[in-house]
A and B are shown apart, each in its own frame.
Chain A
Amino acid sequence: MSSAAFDWRAARHQPGWLARLFDWKPFLIFICLLPAVGLLMVFLTYPLGLGIWLSFTDSTIARPGAFVGLENFEYLMEDPVFWQAVFYSVFYTGVATIGKFALGLWLALLLNNHLPFKTILRAIILLPWIVPTVLSAIAFWWIYDPQFSILSYVAVDVLGIRERNFDFLGSEWPARWSLIAANIWRGIPFVAISLLAGLQTISPSLYEAALLDGATPWQRFRFITFPLLLPILAIVMTFSIIFTFTDFQLVYAITRGGPVNSTHLMATLAFQRGIPGGQLGEGAAIAVSMIPFLVFATLFSYFALARRKWQQGEGND
């Protein structure tokens, strides 16, 4: 009997000091968090602070620059191009978000029906979101070509509803609307697929109960679908607003801010002043001016999330 007990003890492997160190929880937690937190600290938190610092300096590409206080911001306050960019950023975000969510919600409701080839359909619909934005933006640039636009061809030669070609990118407002259309096109799939996931979590028994009570389709949407979709809608919308507001690629690829600076977003203006223009301080000041908008959107997200947890009675898990 005792020999069996001895064997059991001998078979047990005694770990070395290194193995024991790695089994010590505080050390293991530290080691596990080190790569992620380290990278984020060095390449995200530090640049965020550095960006705020740069916005108070007059640094250029060539030299580090000195602290100038609020001079950059004072200069921007009097710069009509900056205000135009602020206006267009807000306008672009507002209109594109409304368009994306109206159409995306519609598409999600359509996809929530029983359809043949549903999986393939979902896969195809996500394509505009998968493909690099710049590359689809180039396709839009070609579609918006003043001379060889396919849309103009359809309108002028096929349907005959117009005399002359569309001038998509040549003047202010058409260029603004064209960019918004391209942004909506790219945003619909993400919104639709996310909202579809939300729709599928709604229990069908609620709709059955509503049908028995004689609810109309509109009432079913208004009093069941919409309220239950609201939490996901709020989160997806926050993301969408943040990434539309700070959009860069689409505008840079199609118009580069033109004609006459009318389609500059804050991000493209910051890039133009900061990198090719060399005025790092001014570019950083424009980028920093985006932060208040983003903080607002994030707080919105946080409270939507918190409310959802409270509603579902979910613990902290």
Chain B
Amino acid sequence: MAAAEQSAVQAPELLSWDSKARRVVVLYVPLACFLLILLFPFYWMAVTSFKPNAELYDYTTHNPFWITSPTLDHIRKLLFETSYPRWLWTTMLVAFAATFISLFASVLAAYAIQRLRFRGSQYVGLAIYLAYLVPPSILFIPLATMVVQLGLFDTPFALILTYPTFLIPFCTWLLIGYFKSIPYELEECALIDGATRLQILTKITLPLAVPGLISAGIFAFTLSWNEFIYALAFIQSSENKTVPVAILTELVSGDVYQWGALMAGALLGSLPVAIFYSFFVDYYVSSLTGAVKE
């Protein structure tokens, strides 16, 4: 009787000890490995960009994982001896302009598809969804000939006008999902009160859709900041290049790569999106998962 009671008391304890150890092995160790692997390249990027060249190319006397005498040389070189600030400015301009155009077009399109229901609106929605599945790798050659014919070659307008092709489908899709979550009754009330359709859009639907607009905006901004193939194909002169293209084509010169400056460029080029993203990470994650769930 007593023994049975004792074992009944002990059993849960044993079980909990067992599950705690198990939890560490099954959960925390793999998770730590994932984090280590996913974050290491960033750490390595940061360490390299602050290392003096003497430490950078000498692993025997210096521990490569740490910096003994950090330096801003690479960043100074990048900012003052190359046109890096100019590239950053171009990238920013293109990203903001493309984001603005895509948001404008997507809001109207999503509103028309989701709220002004008309015959065939589903098919328009499906067509826009399918447009997202057409990757830039197929389009860049014909687009390059178009850009040349329109006289836009080597100007930021070439990028501002072509980026919306992959931004609009995504933003429209995301905003349709968002508009769906706004109760239709609100609009019906406004209609009964005599509001016009445009008034409903600007005074009721849009203010309620601000979170959706923010997440679509962040997506569009990061996607256009990261875009590479169009910027590589349509821009030739050094001062009009965007950061990702410029780092790869302008900083990689000759046989000896300036790894410190390259890494500093990569770090600085990643920072704006990373900062932008960190402010709105909740919107980002929820809309990413929401868009996938749609």
Footprint of B on A, CB under 8 Å?
Answer: 12-13, 15, 19, 22-23, 25-26, 28-29, 31-37, 39-40, 43-44, 46-48, 50-51, 54, 59, 103, 106-107, 110-111, 113, 115, 119, 121-128, 130-136, 138-140, 142-143, 145, 148, 150, 153, 157, 185, 188-190, 193-194, 196-198, 201, 232, 235-236, 242-243, 246-249, 252-253, 266-267, 270-271, 274-275, 280, 283-284, 287-288, 290-291, 294, 297-298, 301, 316
Contact = CB atoms under 8 A, between A and B. Distances in A.
Name which of A51, A119, A135, A143 has the most chain B CB atoms within 10 A of its CB: A135
5 shortest interchain CB distances as A-B pairs: A197-B289, A36-B109, A32-B112, A35-B105, A267-B137
A110 B116 contact: no
Interface in B49-84: 56-57, 59-60, 64-65
A145 B229 CA distance: 24
Given A29-B118, A298-B130, A139 B38 contact: no
B138 A288 contact: yes
A46 B40 CA distance: 43
Contacts of B128: 36, 40
Contacts of A271: 140, 229, 232-233
Contacts, number: 278
A179 to B, nearest CB: 14
Contacts of A121: 35
A107 B31 CA distance: 7
A19 B44 CA distance: 59
B21 interface: no
Nearest to A266: B137
Given A15-B196, A22-B197, A135-B266, A283 B289 contact: no
Contact of B139 (A29, A33, A48, A193): A48
Contact of B244 (A34, A111, A132, A198): A132
Given A44-B139, A242-B135, A283-B141, 20 more contacts: A35-B105, A37-B124, A46-B146, A48-B142, A50-B142, A50-B146, A51-B139, A54-B141, A128-B41, A133-B226, A134-B228, A134-B247, A135-B265, A157-B60, A185-B37, A194-B292, A236-B292, A248-B229, A249-B244, A274-B140
Contacts of B41: 128, 136, 139-140, 143, 185
A54 B145 contact: yes
A185 B38 contact: yes
B121 to A, nearest CB: 8
B57 A148 contact: yes
A151 B285 CA distance: 32
B222 interface: yes
